[in-house]
């Protein structure tokens, strides 16, 4: 029976049907649901790893041991896992290994817009790219076969639109391949120079074989239209926009295998048309390949650019000169940026940092929203874990001038991912830095995933929980304290004391995410309109439940969870 | 059949994912090719949230661009105004009259436009404005305003009621089913 499935759920179904036995991933939008969905199948062992490098190494280990394996991550996660990726290309696999990397064209939930195809090219690992949910499932199954036939990990590249669109998928039964035999083979699996040199030769030969495969693979498909005025070469989500915008006006070469790319197939297709447009999001990788193989009647990036998503309207306008009419109000419509939720435990802590005018080295998570008005507390956000390491560099560069007024903020999951190595650096290199761990007992932004500090694993079963206080002390930090971010005075005092200290310290701001099911909410607070003087002190918290109506504060009872920081903030006692 | 496009818009946390799931289920049961495109991650945290639902004989692009939507279903008035340009000429605009101040309004950097309902009515679209929040509270919880609005949409279209009931049964946990069925009926009657 056909079912509507998210691209990510269809991907997981592909893992199931292909007999994948081992899954290890780190969450990251838009890749997260692949692993969450895979974990629902009892036949698959699935886990959250502390970061993408660990996940990929675990998946490679499982593959070498003889089980079909998978690891999934977002585009920036592949940077973290680049180290094992480039050498896994040399070792190859035993049982098939598939890697999902989800790019975020348009940066719906990311800090950059990198094109992961560069990693596939640089590591010489084949990369497939589906265009809808059905292809997600089919390509994953084919990826395992390619992996085993060519002795290589295979990357399946997703994008926000493919990962988070539902389309119909036919679910089939699971094929259960037996565990492959493991035999010791240091020439293949011990990558020291003598052995790696031989494997590099193998990698180059493999690439040639993969190019030959790409020429005839069903992954690459030509759709000829008799009415075509020109040709289009495209991939991934862009294929859908091309078909919708151009219909029969163009013949299409759809590349489902984006690394390595075919040569003759492209040359023959391009020779049929005077004009060929390459329509690909982000980098001009297909277009450059065309020019490299002597196909010069192509145009792409000069028309469509390198930034953001492409869509059917852009293609229709640029290639056909067709623009749709639309109505709009003359009214200025205020933006609605994302905000910290009502009752978010991060709010109180950020309010204190903002009030104390502290310089804040930030990190990746819901708390990145502390950079937005009215809190505007965050100075920098770079990548996972960078808050702590960058704070260290900042303080070493500016010395005592910054040591007493600069902090790092990092979530519990991000701290486990790659923050703790930065803290080791602080302790080891004797840095007078103050680190605040925002422990909300969950991986929040990606939609509530367990992590090594929460005491539960991906399947929801009890697991060992890292004790953050003990870990920080073991690393060598002597000043470690815990505060409750719902108590503003306590937070403020702790921040002042630790900034004043002449050694490194860690403040753990601990309170579970207000959206967690087990968190009990207090009754909503109310503003006594007779007492409220309209001073707007409560508005400085940036709580979405509080607004000003007719000069007085009002609390929206449907949003308020009774955290009480506005009550503490209101000096005249108008909030009850 | 030519592809039809419906946008479901609101504020993060208002339940647009359930609404699109219900609609997707109904359309699939009707035998259409269907695509539903959602937004996850950062923008879900109280920001503008947009879901695209498209159906027809064969649907390609999962997204909807300006001037393409046959209907826009909005959970909030400002979001209805924001998405007005996506509506096709003669398209339906169904909106809850609920107003939620975005952060720039909360901080005083911007103003929530006055009388948006009137301005939308004057914009020459087929507007249906309902107090979905009150109807949802009448059904038992403010959270069901998403289902109320799907009821309004159901009354404007002619998909068999049985398909909607099946979709509710498939998408809503049994514990909340009766409440949501009530919300759906109140929406249908409100049109």
pLDDT > 80? residue B40: no
Name the 3-class secondary structure at A399: coil
Cα–Cα distance, A501 to A481 (Å, whole number): 13
pLDDT value for A184: 98
Q: pTM for the full model?
A: 0.97
Determine which of B32, B62, B84, B146 to mutate to test the interface with A (most A C-beta atoms within 10 Å): B62
Please give the average per-residue pLDDT across B100-113, as a whole number.
91
pLDDT value for A2: 84
Please give the average per-residue pLDDT across A44-73, as a whole number.
98
Cα–Cα distance, A555 to A563 (Å, whole number): 12
Cα–Cα distance, A412 to A419 (Å, whole number): 9
Determine the Cα angle at A145 with ends A144 and A148, to 5°.
85
pLDDT tier at B191 (50, 70, 90 boundaries)? confident
Determine the Cα angle at A316 with ends A311 and A322, to 5°.
135
Q: Does A353 share its domain with A306?
A: no
pLDDT tens figures, A143-177: 999 999 999 999 999 999 999 999 999 999 999 99
Tell me if A345 sits within 8 A of A41, measured CB to CB: no
Q: What are the residues facing A507 on neighbouring strands? A: A436, A481
In which element (H, E) is residue B72 found? strand B69-74
- Asked whether residue A340 is domain-assigned, the answer is no
* A542 phi-psi bin (left φ>0, alpha ψ -120 to 50, beta other): left
Q: Does A157 share its domain with A304?
A: no
CA distances from B93 to A246, A428, B154 (A): 28, 61, 13
pLDDT > 80? residue B45: no
pLDDT > 90? residue A472: yes
Tell me if A219 sits within 8 A of A256, measured CB to CB: yes
Please give the average per-residue pLDDT across A247-255, as a whole number.
98
Cα–Cα distance, A253 to A265 (Å, whole number): 9
Q: Which of A170, A137, A155, A1 is CA-nearest to residue A72?
A: A155
pLDDT tier at A391 (50, 70, 90 boundaries)? very high
pLDDT value for B5: 98
Please give the average per-residue pLDDT across A200-204, as a whole number.
98
- Asked whether residue A339 is domain-assigned, the answer is no
CATH value at residue A543 = 3.30.70.20
Tell me if B112 sits within 8 A of B99, measured CB to CB: yes
pLDDT tens figures, A92-128: 999 999 999 999 999 999 999 999 999 999 999 999 9
Name the 3-class secondary structure at A213: helix
Q: Out of A465, A482, A510, pick the residue that ends a domain.
A: A510
pLDDT tier at B16 (50, 70, 90 boundaries)? confident
The angle, 0 to 180 degrees and rounded to 10, between the axes of the packed helices B161-171 and B145-156 is: 160
Q: What are residue A72's phi and psi, to 5 degrees?
A: -130, 150
In which element (H, E) is residue A237 found? helix A236-246
Chain A contact present for B59, CB below 8 A: yes
In angstroms, the separation between the Cα of residue B124 and the nearest Cα of chain A is: 9
Cα–Cα distance, A393 to A565 (Å, whole number): 34
- Asked whether residue A208 is domain-assigned, the answer is yes
pLDDT tier at B41 (50, 70, 90 boundaries)? low
Render the burial of A459-482: b for 16+ CB within 10 Å, e for the rest: eeeebeebebbebbeebebeebee
pLDDT value for A558: 84
Q: Does A490 share its domain with A525?
A: no
Which CATH fold topology does B4-190 show?
Pyruvate-ferredoxin Oxidoreductase; domain 3 (3.40.920)
Across the interface, whether the CB atoms of A164 and B25 are under 8 A apart is answered no
Please give the average per-residue pLDDT across A354-371, as a whole number.
97
Q: Does A209 share its domain with A225?
A: no
Across the interface, whether the CB atoms of B106 and A544 are under 8 A apart is answered yes
- Asked whether residue A431 is domain-assigned, the answer is yes
Provide DSSP, A472-534.
HHHHT--EEEEE-TT-HHHHHHHHHHHHHSSS-EEEEEE---TTSTTPPPPPPP-B-TTT---
Out of B42, B85, B101, name the one closest to residue A326 (CB).
Answer: B85
The total of structural domains in chain A comes to 4
Domain holding A304, by residue range, is: 220-320
pLDDT tens figures, A228-242: 999 999 999 999 999
DSSP 8-state code for residue A318: I
pLDDT tier at B39 (50, 70, 90 boundaries)? confident
Contacts of A536 in chain B (CB under 8 A): 108
Please name the residues between 343 and 382 in chain A that touch chain B, using a CB distance below 8 Å. 366, 368-369, 372-374
Q: Which range, of A294-298, A300-304, A318-322, A548-552, averages the lowest pLDDT?
A: A548-552
Q: Does A524 share its domain with A496?
A: no
Q: Does A141 share its domain with A241?
A: no
Q: Which sign does the torsion angle of CA B59, B62, B68, B72 carry?
A: positive
* % chain A with pLDDT above 90: 98
pLDDT value for A480: 98
Cα–Cα distance, B114 to A333 (Å, whole number): 11
pLDDT > 70? residue B43: no
Q: Which of A523, A507, A346 is CA-nearest to residue A437?
A: A507
* % chain A with pLDDT above 70: 100
Segments making up each domain of chain B, as ranges: 4-190
pLDDT value for A335: 93
Q: Out of A461, A485, A510, pick the residue that ends a domain.
A: A510
pLDDT value for B107: 83
Please give the average per-residue pLDDT across A377-403, as a whole number.
98
Chain A contact present for B136, CB below 8 A: no
pLDDT, mean over chain A: 97
Q: Does A11 share its domain with A42?
A: yes
- Asked whether residue A329 is domain-assigned, the answer is no
Cα–Cα distance, B45 to A48 (Å, whole number): 23
Q: Does A18 share its domain with A97?
A: yes
Cα–Cα distance, B139 to B183 (Å, whole number): 5
Taking one residue from A and the other from B, the number of pairs with CB-CB distance under 8 angstroms is 193
Q: Does A257 share its domain with A226?
A: yes
Provide DSSP, A411-464.
EHHHIIIIIHHHHHHHHHTT---EEEEEE-SSBTTTT-B--TTSSB-TTS-B--
- Asked whether residue A326 is domain-assigned, the answer is no
Determine the Cα angle at A394 with ends A389 and A398, to 5°.
150
Across the interface, whether the CB atoms of B112 and A334 are under 8 A apart is answered yes
Cα–Cα distance, A82 to B13 (Å, whole number): 35
pLDDT > 70? residue B42: no
Q: Which of B2, B138, B171, B149 is CA-nearest to residue B73?
A: B149
Out of B41, B108, B142, name the one closest to residue A29 (CB).
Answer: B41
Q: How far apart are the first and last CA of chain A?
A: 55
Q: Does A286 share its domain with A399?
A: no
Q: Which of B110, B37, B107 is CA-nearest to residue B78?
A: B110
Across the interface, whether the CB atoms of A445 and B41 are under 8 A apart is answered yes
pLDDT > 90? residue B93: yes
Q: Does A7 share its domain with A69?
A: yes
Please name the residues between 240 and 269 in chain A that touch chain B, using a CB distance below 8 Å. 240-241, 243-245
Please give the average per-residue pLDDT across B80-89, as a whole number.
96
Contacts of B28 in chain A (CB under 8 A): 2-4, 168
pLDDT value for A13: 98
pLDDT value for B1: 85
Q: Which of A361, A372, A369, A371 is CA-nearest to residue A344?
A: A369
ipTM here: 0.95
Please give the average per-residue pLDDT across B131-147, as a whole number.
95
The angle, 0 to 180 degrees and rounded to 10, between the axes of the packed helices A193-216 and A264-271 is: 30
pLDDT value for B108: 84
Q: Does A485 share its domain with A360?
A: yes
pLDDT tens figures, A500-546: 999 999 999 999 999 999 999 999 999 999 999 999 999 999 999 99
């Amino acid at each position: 029976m056909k079912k509507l499935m998210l691209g990510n759920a269809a991907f997981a179904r592909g893992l199931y049907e292909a007999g994948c036995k081992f899954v290890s991933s780190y969450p990251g939008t838009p890749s997260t649901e692949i692993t969450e969905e895979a974990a629902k199948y009892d036949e698959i062992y699935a886990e959250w790893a502390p970061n993408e490098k660990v996940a990929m190494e675990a998946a490679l280990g499982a593959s070498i041991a003889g089980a079909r394996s998978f690891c999934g991550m977002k585009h920036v996660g592949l940077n973290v896992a680049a180290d094992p990726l480039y050498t896994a290309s040399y070792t190859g696999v035993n049982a098939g290994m598939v890697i999902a990397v989800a790019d975020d064209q348009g940066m719906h939930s990311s800090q950059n817009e990198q094109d992961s195809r560069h990693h596939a090219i640089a590591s010489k690992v084949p990369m497939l790219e589906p265009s809808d949910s059905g292809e997600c499932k089919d390509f994953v199954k084919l990826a395992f076969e390619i992996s085993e036939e060519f002795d290589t990990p295979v990357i399946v590249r997703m994008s926000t639109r493919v990962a988070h669109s539902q389309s119909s998928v036919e679910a089939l039964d699971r094929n259960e391949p037996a565990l492959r035999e493991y035999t010791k083979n240091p020439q293949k699996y011990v990558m020291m120079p003598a052995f790696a040199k031989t494997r590099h030769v193998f990698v180059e030969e493999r690439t040639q074989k993969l190019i030959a495969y790409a020429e005839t693979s069903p992954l690459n498909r030509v759709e000829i239209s008799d009415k075509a005025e020109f040709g289009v070469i495209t991939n991934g989500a862009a294929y859908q926009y091309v078909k919708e915008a151009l219909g029969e006006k163009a013949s299409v070469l759809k590349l489902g295998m984006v690394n390595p790319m075919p040569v003759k197939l492209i040359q023959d297709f391009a020779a049929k048309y005077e004009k060929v447009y390459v329509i690909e999001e982000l980098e001009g990788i297909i277009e450059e390949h065309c020019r490299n193989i002597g196909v010069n009647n192509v145009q792409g990036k000069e028309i469509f650019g390198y930034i953001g998503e492409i869509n059917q309207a852009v293609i229709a306008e640029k290639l056909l000169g067709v623009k749709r009419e639309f109505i709009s109000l003359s009214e200025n419509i205020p933006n609605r940026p994302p905000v910290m939720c009502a009752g978010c435990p991060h709010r109180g802590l950020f309010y204190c940092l903002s009030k104390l005018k502290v310089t804040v080295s930030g990190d990746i998570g819901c708390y990145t929203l502390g950079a937005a008005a009215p809190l505007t507390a965050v100075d920098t956000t770079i990548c996972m874990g960078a808050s702590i390491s960058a704070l260290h560099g900042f303080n070493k560069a500016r010395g005592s001038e910054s040591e007493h007024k600069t902090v790092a903020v990092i979530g519990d999951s991000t701290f486990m991912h790659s923050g703790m190595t930065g803290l080791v650096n602080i302790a080891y290199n004797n840095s007078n830095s103050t680190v605040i761990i925002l422990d909300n007992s969950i991986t929040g932004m990606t939609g509530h995933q367990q992590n090594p500090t929460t005491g539960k694993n991906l399947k929801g079963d009890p697991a060992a929980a890292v004790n953050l206080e003990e870990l920080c002390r073991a690393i060598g930090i002597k000043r470690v304290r815990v505060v409750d971010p719902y108590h503003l005075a306590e937070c403020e005092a702790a921040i002042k004391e630790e900034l004043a200290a002449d050694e490194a310290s860690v403040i753990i701001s601990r309170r579970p995410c207000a959206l967690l099911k087990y968190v009990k909410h207090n009754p909503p607070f109310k503003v006594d309109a007779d007492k409220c003087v309209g001073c707007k002190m409560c508005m400085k918290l940036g709580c979405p439940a509080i607004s000003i109506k007719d000069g007085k504060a009002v609390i929206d009872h449907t949003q308020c969870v009774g955290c009480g920081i506005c009550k503490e903030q209101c000096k005249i006692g108008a909030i009850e | 059949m030519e592809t039809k496009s419906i946008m479901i818009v609101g504020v993060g946390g208002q339940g647009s994912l359930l609404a699109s799931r219900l609609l997707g289920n109904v359309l699939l049961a009707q035998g259409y090719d269907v695509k539903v495109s959602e937004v996850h991650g950062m923008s879900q945290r109280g920001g503008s949230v947009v879901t695209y639902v498209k159906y027809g004989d064969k649907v390609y692009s999962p997204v909807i661009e300006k001037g393409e939507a046959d209907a826009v279903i909005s959970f909030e008035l400002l979001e209805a105004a924001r998405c007005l340009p996506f509506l096709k000429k003669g398209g339906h605009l169904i909106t809850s009259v609920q107003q939620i101040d975005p952060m720039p309004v909360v901080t005083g950097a911007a103003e929530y436009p006055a009388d948006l309902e009137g301005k939308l009515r004057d914009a020459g679209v087929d507007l249906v404005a309902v107090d979905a929040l009150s109807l949802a509270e009448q059904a038992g919880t403010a959270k069901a305003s998403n289902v109320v609005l799907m009821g309004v949409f159901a009354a404007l279209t002619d998909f068999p009621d049985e398909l909607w009931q099946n979709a509710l049964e498939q998408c809503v946990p049994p514990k909340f089913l009766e409440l949501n069925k009530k919300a759906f009926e109140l929406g249908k009657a409100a049109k």
